[in-house]
Amino acid sequence: MAHPTQLGFQDAASPVMEELLHFHDHALMIVFLISTLVLYIIIAMVSTKLTNKYILDFQEIEIVWTVLPAVILVLIALPSLRILYSYDEINDPHLTIKAMGHQWYWSYEYTDYQDLGFDSYMIPTQDLTPGQFRLLETDHRMVVPMESPIRILVSAEDVLHSWAVPSLGVKMDAVPGRLNQTAFIASRPGVFYGQCSEICGANHSFMPIVVEAVPLEHFENWSSLMLEDA
């Protein structure tokens, strides 16, 4: 999860998020090189009184500064499109979970099970135990098996919400009357935190999201216990 004074992204916990981090570094390096070149040209033009007559009317350099930006845009667009299309690929999910946004909490329904669902409320500050995070911890976590394709169906009951977990590279708007879907694969076990990313009213800041990725055997034990309690 994020920590104070952090400048970069959170550590990736899914293959798509890893691709996004690589693309960010790729694009940032291109921006850095362009900025360095432009800064050098500006300093050179300001600091010298000499004028090159060939630069004033030079056909070849006009071709270069037209073609080169086009090539750079292609180098940025191709990996970007590949990641964009990978977001839409939901092939044979092992588990489907419906996340419903409310004012101001989330409810989860495991649609592959008959009676497995619960509401997830933020734990008030006065009820936190040592080691828990303020404004991020919930009374019920969304537990998923690691290394398995998970499909999330996202909707809302009242106003616009947004289900977002940065470490998993997931962000999907929850719109009343509309069912959106996204997917992710948790590549490692852990607890991943997110928050509603759409301003949804007075308590918008108090509806966190907690996803816990566990081995498949542990997930089966957890689901059996939840079904027994239900």
Q: Are 98 and 113 in contact (CB under 8 A)?
A: no
Please write the tens of the pLDDT for every residue from 117-165: 999 999 999 999 998 999 999 999 999 999 999 999 999 999 999 999 9
Q: How far is CA 201 from CA 76, 135, 138, 160, 161, in A?
A: 37, 16, 19, 9, 10
pLDDT of residue 56: 65
Instruction: Give the whole-angstrom CA distance, residue 66 versus residue 157.
Output: 51
Please write the tens of the pLDDT for every residue from 13-32: 999 999 999 999 999 999 99
pLDDT of residue 63: 86
Entry pTM: 0.85
Full set of structural domains in the chain with CATH: 15-88 (1.10.287.90), 95-229 (2.60.40.420)
Instruction: Give the whole-angstrom CA distance, residue 22 versus residue 186.
Output: 18
**Residue 50 — pLDDT band, cuts 50, 70, 90?**
confident
